[in-house]
Amino acid sequence: MSKLNSSLASSLFISFGLALVFGSTPLFAQTQANCDFKTFDPHSGYIYGFSPNGINHYNTVVGEADGPQEGMGKAFIRYSGGSMTIFAVPKAQYTVFNRRNKYGTSVGWYGPQPVTVPPGTGSNGLMYTSKSYATLNYPGSPTRN
């Protein structure tokens, strides 16, 4: 498997970290990490949620922003310089990017509805480059629209 293909296939459905935090009883004594934060805002109107799910070697961040209508979500790419682009699969109510590799290919999912723990019925795996996108579904899984 080539390096490119390996990265392409990586982590189609991720971003569960927040959704799967059911409890927070620490097993170990925890200290707070000393972090240098740089913040950024979603596009205007995308006020219902914002999930910067993945970051690649070039500090390009990909994720999903909820809006501009409630119940809709679109994928975004934010480059290290601060510019941001939005992408949505045609007719999909939700499009989400989870990871992006250093070759500029992003992976995630799209579907007709938001899901707490993807994939939900009707959702599809997604691979996206600057020129095109493709669907990747596990054979027989009821994730296809």
- Chain residues that interact with another protein, rule: CB under 8 A: 1, 5-6, 9-18, 20-28, 30-42, 47-57, 59, 61, 63, 78, 99, 117-121, 125, 136-143
Least separation in angstroms between residue 45's CB and another protein is 11
Least separation in angstroms between residue 79's CB and another protein is 12
- For residues 57 and 10, what is the distance between their CA atoms, to the nearest angstrom? 15
Tokens 């809709």 belong to which residue? 72
How far is Cα of residue 52 from the mean position of the Cα atoms in its chain? 7
Nearer to another protein, 6 or 129 (CB): 6
Least separation in angstroms between residue 126's CB and another protein is 10
Nearer to another protein, 104 or 138 (CB): 138
Nearest CA among 105, 110, 135 for reference residue 123: 110
Nearest CA among 46, 48, 65 for reference residue 108: 65
Nearer to another protein, 48 or 87 (CB): 48
Nearer to another protein, 63 or 114 (CB): 63
Least separation in angstroms between residue 87's CB and another protein is 16
Q: Which tokens hold the place of 117? A: 């723990």
- For residues 73 and 124, what is the distance between their CA atoms, to the nearest angstrom? 15
